[in-house]
Structure 1
């Protein structure tokens, strides 16, 4: 059996835990600053994720893909600018982009709100309803401590929770790599460098600093992998011939 990193050594263990804590704090601070700087709805499909959770919050059930963005959100969506792709999805709601323009579907062009007449307001379908429901139920539960119309604080809180979950996911990967690495092939410094690079990746932290279900999936997957290796390590360390054979090993 290859020599593996041990958590028994007190000095190594303290260094490992210290690095994990520092990594987590770095990700949380960096992600929180980014989420604060990002305008509302700047993240991919943010308004859709919020609207799907709002539907769950209002109706206590998960929407079908034919359901529409809930009407109580309309004023909030109209009150602030959107990235172009988001505003293009909601022209019949009179949603503006960051430049204050509205998408005119007939002209396929951006125009000033005064140049277009919005008669019957109509919103977009909840296409994020094709996703699994867990994230949206959790997001709806998160809103229960806020005012029903406190959409921006709700979105900011959801962004922060995602950042924290991403930080915890990276921490778990510190331990996963430590558990599975061979000292002679993959040193502690290499593990730390890999995780620092992951924490510095602009696309990854941008994805974490938005309202979306990706980070929750990463968190659960990381948790499952860590638990698997901890269980595997416990079985190996138990030196039980029967348990070792169950996982396909040989004594």
Structure 2
């Protein structure tokens, strides 16, 4: 329940709660992956159950699909939806231009496909995710398993000429084995420290053989909803150039919080 949430979870919850207000009856909605996006799915599920909201959700991972079905959201594939009205997802980092690093949860490929197949993308995040320059969070790069070490070497060689602080790369692990994405690929995490030119880096990395996609989301996000632990919510619209602030009261919502661990 909300009274038992940590400040960071309260921030995630109020951001998700506020973003859910953008969802309207009949929409086809992309559902993100990660802890903040999970709050959004729960909020939408409550609206479906309690308010009769009728939406179709396109999940960006098998984990999100399972949660969405559990809370009563009608789940369809992107091929069935063809195009989406809105995608709401979290981010590992965002900057003043609403450029993002995503992929900490390992779903960056589906997340980017779904986000770019939408009329609008809204990012929900706690205030700690805002940075002056992208790069403190390791940049995920999805690569095919075949020849992944060659792809890694080519990436490291390419980083020498890029405007970044660090060039260390690591294979993401799941215990003693390589982490495997929903598409059966591996993820290389690039520990760059600071990215000087995110647009250039994204384009160059994607040209390397074996690379499927990278976690830089450039010119994709339209709005960011930032939550704070005291209930404040800030909404920034990059297209309209507007910033608005609100405050959400915490209430006990048994249907939303019971039996739904992150």
Q: Higher helix proportion, which one?
A: 1
| Shared fold per TM-score greater than 0.5 | no
Q: Give 1 or 2 for the bigger CA radius of gyration.
A: 1
Q: Higher strand proportion, which one?
A: 2
- Relative to the length of structure 1, the TM-score reads 0.24
